[in-house]
Amino acid sequence: MLSHPRGLHPTRQQQYLARGRRGRTAAASVLARRLVGFAALAALGFGVSTAVPVSFASAQTSAATSSEPVCTYVTNSGVRYTSISAIPAEARGTAVAMATAGSGTGYWITTDNGQTFTCNMSTTWGSWTIPGSPGTQSPVVGEAAPAGGGLYLVTASGVVAAFGAATPHGSIGTGTVLNKPIVGMAIDPATGGYWLAGADGGVFSFDAPFYGSLPAQHITPAARIVGISAMPNGGGYRLVGADGGVFDFGNAGFAGSAA
């Protein structure tokens, strides 16, 4: 026979035990309803997570201790930035080009106003003071990295700047009027020179062989040209249009297009 809990009267004891049974039954009923509810959510495609949430503080700590490479831009006055968005709005540019270093260990990202971010490398180039009076300078539209080191930047007017070990091979004269702006450049692996491509498919060679252009063949592309790439042996180059059309010159074989 059960003893009286804490001296309760038998009648009170029965009431006490009954309330306990009802409480346990009610709790079990609530748990059962929750389990049914979770099963229904899962059946409808809603995920029910039982994972322990990670606190915001620990997430911040994980991000802060990350060892991922950082891209760095150092202004000519020595101010260091690791993102374009951190640069004051009045001085901030828009990323327009990138080039892989000749060593293959990193790359550069350059903005339209000549700010170059160095990624996973120690060498920084600072900011290029583009020729021309403030507000009238032609924007940077492309860049290329020679195998021997350094970096080239080119503007829409065809002015080329060489940094580090990159050898200058010339630019389109600042007084030259182009039919269409320059959109990109490619290095000739054979000579170390380079080609500049215009939006109309025109090609300008600097210490690199000329293999032809669209205007020279009286071809007007359906969409503006947006880039140029060189063959690995320096024997030709390709132009690509905004519509995905591809144009081959020299020994560059046609492998299809996205037009």
* Whether residue 19 has pLDDT greater than 70: no
pLDDT at 18 over 80: no
- Token digits for 239? 């132009």
Of 10-14, 99-103, 171-175, 233-237, the least confident: 10-14
User: Quick one: what percent of the chain has pLDDT higher than 90?
Assistant: 59
144, with CB counted inside 10 A (0-12, 13-18, 19+), is buried
State the Cα–Cα distance between residues 141 and 153, nearest whole angstrom.
8
Interval 160-181: pLDDT, tens = 999 999 999 999 977 788 999 9
Where do the structural domains in the chain lie, given as residue ranges? 7-43
More confident call, 75 vs 6: 75
Task: Say what the pLDDT of residue 148 is.
Answer: 86
Most confident of the following: 8-17, 54-63, 146-155? 146-155
pLDDT bracket for residue 67 (50, 70, 90): low
Confidence tier at 105 by pLDDT (50, 70, 90): confident
**Tell me: the pLDDT tens digits for 21-33?**
444 444 444 444 4
* Percent of the chain predicted with pLDDT > 70: 74
Q: Can you say how many angstroms the Cα of residue 243 is from the centroid of all Cα atoms in its chain?
A: 21
- Prediction pTM value: 0.72
Give the strand pairing for 225-230 and 203-206. unpaired
Using the predicted structure, report yes or no on whether residue 258 has a pLDDT greater than 80. yes
What pLDDT shows up at residue 128?
87
Per-residue pLDDT band for 184 (boundaries 50, 70, 90) equals very high
- Output the CA torsion sign for 212, 216, 222, 228: positive
pLDDT tens, residue by residue, 112-142:
999 999 998 877 777 888 887 777 789 999 9
Cβ–Cβ under 8 Å, residues 186 and 170: no
Q: What is the pLDDT of residue 65?
A: 38
Query: pLDDT of 54-63, one tens digit each?
Result: 332 323 333 3
- One-letter amino acid at 147 equals A
Distance CA 53, CA 51 (A): 6
| DSSP letter assigned to residue 249 | E
Using 50, 70 and 90 to split pLDDT, how confident is the model at 80? Answer: very high
CA–CA dist 200, 202 (Å, integer): 6
